[in-house]
Amino acid sequence: MDQFDVVVIGGGPGGYVAAIRAAQLGFKTACIDEWKNAAGKPAPGGTCTNVGCIPSKALLQSSEHYDHAMHHFADHGITASGVKMDVAKMLARKDAVVKQNNDGILYLFKKNKVTFFHGRGAFVGAAKDGVYEIAVGESAATSIAAKHVIIATGSNARALPGAAFDEKLILSNDGALRVGEVPKSLGVIGAGVIGLEMGSVWRRLGSDVTVLEGLPTFLGAVDESIAKEALKLFTKQGLKISLGVKVGAIKPGKNNVAVEYTTADGKTENATFDRLIVSIGRTPNTNGLNAEAGGVKLDERGFITVDGDCKTSAPNVWAVGDVVRGPMLAHKAEEEGVAVAERIAGQHPHIDFNCIPWVIYTSPEIAWVGQTEQQLKASGVAYKSGSFPFMANGRARALGNTDGMVKILADAKTDKVLGMHVIGPVASELIAEGVMAMEFGASSEDIARICHAHPTLSEATKEAALAVDKRTLNF
Ligand code: FAD
Ligand code: NAI
């Protein structure tokens, strides 16, 4: 049996990054991942690379180009005629981007001397003399031995009861990324991150998109003023968003799906959609891991129970990413993976969950870090707020992309930055400044005093910081 210092089960962003960091720290490391691509070949990278972050952003980019060509080129004096969308080519490009990332991870494993095993990893039992036996592969013919095990087995899409995913008519995130032609009508259940991102892709390509959300509030985790602006903009773009809806029977037919639902004002509606995306959250994945045999406890919702350092109930077994508590984000999984490898090496890394940024890749993008106004109010923290609209930013005007704003929240007494919220162009990149400020314990005055290049979108961040002190220069 091959002996390793560290065996990582799962090769998504949590697992593959943990394996690389463990190897960098001098541990003999293996990573086991079972994902196969359509050709049956190993495809490490997990949900993120195969059916999540990467392919969704590839399609968002393609659909945004199409939308620009159809609706915005004319504003720049460019006439484009005969613009057509070749969905097959768009999907093939997306698949090629995914494969580059799969291959990149295999290359990184080689470079860092991580041994890769393709197949399912499962605990054979509890540790014997401090060593775990991990079975590898479907027939479990091979076993490897490990002193430390890092579980990074990720998550799966949650289905609605009575409406299993067939990936043809009723789609999870997986099927939503493989629709072969633009559906005339698309239903989306759940106005969360996936619903809005995938709804945006297919709307831009011409679908009539209806989003049915169970909660009465739109994007409840987002700062209220940003969520309000987002709802206004998405509705103007043509997304039909219904809040406070109760979804009833879902009946797939031959070519479409019938959905019965009750609206917030109590009306029963019957809608028929060519495709239905169900994006109502994700469940932790411990399928076939045999975690309990290894002494690893799960909570009542199926997440692996961990402490603040990602230690499980079993000695020297750790768990990171979507399979444990906390936000289901690739960068959160990565930070935990690195931190665990460093803890195994005796180091003392720290992750500040309050400084983990969130991004929703709609158009405009939404990004935030830290506390929202509603959270600060609820916890009774006295704060100051400053915001700056992209309408008043020169670069945004030049881009023709003036929707949205940057908002900074700072402590009323100390001026320490408590949160930054952006809706607007490349919010996903702009938010890094807020994360940096918060990690360094910066004040809004610190951001206001930093020289930002002109003309840039980031000047809106500086101006929002100036607005906290009621002294914007350009608005
Ligand atoms: P995963 O990425 O799920 O990887 C787990 C891996 O473990 C998989 O390869 C799985 O096959 C393998 N595995 C499971 N069990 C076993 C076993 N027993 N043996 C061997 N292998 C096993 N997050 C962002 O931060 N930004 C985004 O833009 C973003 N976009 C997303 C878009 C979509 C459509 C979806 C669905 C998710 C998106 N996410 C995004 C979330 C992100 O994908 C996850 O948070 C991230 O992938 C979690 O990483 P992980 O390593 O914990 O698990
Ligand atoms: P989500 O948690 O973001 O949104 C689910 C939505 O469905 C919520 O608004 C919820 O109220 C609603 N809902 C739940 N049950 C419902 C029901 N029965 N009827 C109607 N509405 C219902 O989950 P989503 O979109 O599935 O994404 C899962 C996770 O994947 C996200 O939370 C996020 O962590 C990750 N992700 C991250 C992305 C990013 O970082 N850009 C992109 C996509 C996914």
Q: What is the CATH number of the domain that holds 419?
A: 3.30.390.30
In whole angstroms, give the CA distance from residue 132 to residue 421. Answer: 45
Active site residue 72: no
Q: Check whether residue 323 and residue 375 sit in a common domain.
A: no
Q: Is residue 294 domain-resident?
A: yes
Minimum-distance ligand to the CA of 56?
Answer: 1
In whole angstroms, give the CA distance from residue 450 to residue 469. Answer: 15
Give the domain extent around 187: 170-280
CB 393 within 8 Å of CB 229: no
Q: Is residue 52 domain-resident?
A: yes
- Whole-number pLDDT of residue 140: 58
Q: Is residue 57 domain-resident?
A: yes
Q: Which of 280, 309, 337 is the last residue of a domain?
A: 280
Q: Which residue has the tokens 């809005």?
A: 196
Q: Which of 351, 381, 406 is the last residue of a domain?
A: 351
Q: How far is the CA of 74 from the centre of ligand 1 (A)?
A: 40
- Whole-number pLDDT of residue 1: 87
Is the distance from the beta carbon of residue 15 to the nearest atom of ligand 2 less than 6 Å? no
- Whole-number pLDDT of residue 137: 87
Is the distance from the beta carbon of residue 192 to the nearest atom of ligand 2 less than 6 Å? yes
Q: Check whether residue 140 and residue 185 sit in a common domain.
A: no
Q: Is residue 162 domain-resident?
A: no
Q: Whose Cα sits closest to atom 29 in ligand 1? A: 53
Q: Check whether residue 194 and residue 249 sit in a common domain.
A: yes
Beta strand 246-252 with 121-123 is unpaired
In whole angstroms, give the CA distance from residue 166 to residue 172. Answer: 9
Q: Whose Cα sits closest to atom 8 in ligand 1? A: 46
Please give the number of the atom of ligand 2 that sits closest to the Cα of 360: 41
Q: Check whether residue 438 and residue 382 sit in a common domain.
A: yes
Q: Check whether residue 300 and residue 430 sit in a common domain.
A: no
Is 0.85 topped by the overall pTM? yes
Q: Check whether residue 337 and residue 275 sit in a common domain.
A: no
CA distances to 200, 280, 307 from 240, rounded to whole Å, are: 11, 17, 42
Q: Is residue 165 domain-resident?
A: no
Q: Is residue 474 domain-resident?
A: no
Is the distance from the beta carbon of residue 212 to the nearest atom of ligand 2 less than 6 Å? yes
Q: What CATH number is associated with residue 327? A: 3.50.50.60
Q: Check whether residue 39 and residue 121 sit in a common domain.
A: yes
Q: Check whether residue 393 and residue 275 sit in a common domain.
A: no
Q: Is residue 473 domain-resident?
A: no
Please give the number of the atom of ligand 2 that sits closest to the Cα of 322: 34
Q: Is residue 427 domain-resident?
A: yes
Q: Check whether residue 151 and residue 289 sit in a common domain.
A: yes
Q: Which of 351, 380, 400 is the last residue of a domain?
A: 351
Residues in contact with ligand 1 (CB, 6 Å cut-off)? 9-15, 32-35, 46-48, 52-53, 56, 120-122, 152-155, 173, 194, 285, 288-289, 321-323, 328-331, 333, 361
Q: Check whether residue 91 and residue 211 sit in a common domain.
A: no
Minimum-distance ligand to the CA of 121?
Answer: 1
In whole angstroms, give the CA distance from residue 145 to residue 301. Answer: 29
Is the distance from the beta carbon of residue 329 to the nearest atom of ligand 2 less than 6 Å? yes
Q: Check whether residue 364 and residue 321 sit in a common domain.
A: no
Structural domains counted in the chain:
3
Q: Which amino acid type is present at position 128?
A: K
CA distances to 68, 79, 363, 413 from 83, rounded to whole Å, are: 11, 10, 21, 55
Q: Check whether residue 147 and residue 130 sit in a common domain.
A: yes
- pLDDT tens, per residue, the chain with 475 residues: 899 999 999 999 999 999 999 999 999 999 999 999 999 999 999 999 999 999 999 999 999 999 999 999 999 999 999 999 999 999 999 999 999 999 999 999 999 999 999 999 999 999 999 999 999 986 657 899 999 999 999 999 999 999 999 999 999 999 999 999 999 999 999 999 999 999 999 999 999 999 999 999 999 999 999 999 999 999 999 999 999 999 999 999 999 999 999 999 999 999 999 999 999 999 999 999 999 999 999 999 999 999 999 999 999 999 999 999 999 999 999 999 999 999 999 999 999 999 999 999 999 999 999 999 999 999 999 999 999 999 999 999 999 999 999 999 999 999 999 999 999 999 999 999 999 999 999 999 999 999 999 999 999 999 999 999 999 999 9
In degrees and rounded to multiples of 5, residue 136 shows phi and psi of: -120, 130
